[in-house]
Amino acid sequence: MRALTVVPLQPGSAEVRDVPDPQPGDERLLVEGLALGVCGTDREIAAGEYGWAPPGRDRLVLGHESLGRVREAPAGSGFAPGDLVVGIVRRPDPRPCPACAHGEFDMCRNGEYTERGIKELDGYGSQLWSVEPQFAVALDAGLAETGVLLEPASVVAKAWEQVERVGARSYFAPERVLVTGAGPIGLLAALLGVQRGLDVHVLDRAEAGPKARAAGALGATYHSGPVAETTERLRPDIIIEATGAPPVVFDAIAGTAAYGVTCLTGVSSSGHRIPVDLGRANRSLVLENDVVVGSVNANPRHYTAAAQALAAADPAWLESLITRRVPLERFAEALESRPDDIKVVLTLGS
């Protein structure tokens, strides 16, 4: 079968290769790969910035945003041939740490977890893949190719869970949310906010285009001005930060209404220095009882919540998030970042 592979830490090593077919076993699903979402993580691994091959191997099969259809399923697994499925990315560490031992492997405390397509486990960027039933999530059949959005949706499902858990430490009745960044994470975070009945606002650098149209079609209000001016005007109860851009992060942290919650989901690159008034930020956080929480990855309950959110969404709106489809053999085009991209999808074929 054909698979998108890379030598981690070696720039320019991404290549579609023939690799052995996965062997179906008594305890694993055999899945036909349909599509693969491409994100910044994949681009960074392909650029040689990080990534870990499976032990004893040089190459890693790339891809963690999966979509496939079951070919073979073991009896009693809860799956059947023809089911539309997504594979969960992270696996608990083998020790395990206390969080992993309690099923919260997205919160692993010792860093010895593994991840499909990222860290020591082959990803889902192949025409066939296998997965343990407990790490597979069934999708509504009506989602079809938009089911590839499940993994990023699981990340924001966890982010919303974290916001609501933090807010519940006292009386919490949020009305307005600002999402900074209108990529897949930001727009899916906005979707879950709209589904919660909140007044949702989305801020991005693009003044017009597919991101603005997607936010508007969702019923959110779209903005493209400076973050500080936008937060001063809106005074959001919740900010979900999805850019990772340091100036945006700082202005978001300082920009909520009193007793506000800021959830950081974007990962900043290192080496950027900006002048910040930490005293102002500290004063705001303390005197207004504000909270800043980071959130990444997801465990099975977040995938389940995300699957429910996608099934309840307008199919046409979900389809609008996929701005480019690229065949597997032209993977290099998918690894290019373009200003109007929301979600780029590799079609895997058979």
State the pTM of this model.
0.95
Residues of the chain above pLDDT 90, percent: 89
d(CA 228, CA 234): 10
d(CA 71, CA 80): 8
pLDDT at 274: 66
Only one residue has tokens 């919303």, namely 160
Using one digit for the tens of pLDDT, what is the confidence trace for 25-49?
779 999 999 999 999 999 999 999 9
Name 241's bridge partners: 180, 264
Average pLDDT over residues 218-243: 97
Mean pLDDT value across the chain? 94
pLDDT at 281: 76
d(CA 120, CA 92): 12
Using one digit for the tens of pLDDT, what is the confidence trace for 114-141?
999 999 999 999 999 999 999 999 999 9
pLDDT at 350 over 60: no
pLDDT at 279: 78
231, two tokens: 């937060």
Using one digit for the tens of pLDDT, what is the confidence trace for 266-305?
887 666 676 777 777 777 888 788 999 999 999 999 999 9
345, two tokens: 């999808």
**Residue 161 near residue 267 (C-beta atoms within 8 A):** no
pLDDT at 271: 64
pLDDT at 269: 67
Q: Which is more confidently placed, 281 or 92?
A: 92
The set of residues, in sequence order, having a beta carbon less than 8 Å from that of 317 and lying 6+ positions away, is 191, 214, 217, 218
Average pLDDT over residues 311-323: 98
Using one digit for the tens of pLDDT, what is the confidence trace for 147-190?
999 999 999 999 999 999 999 999 999 999 999 999 999 999 99
Strands 60-61 and 84-87, how do they pair?
unpaired
**Residue 183 near residue 242 (C-beta atoms within 8 A):** yes
pLDDT at 142 over 60: yes
Q: What is the dihedral of CA 240, 241, 247, 250, to 10 degrees?
A: 50
Residues of the chain above pLDDT 70, percent: 97
pLDDT at 26: 74
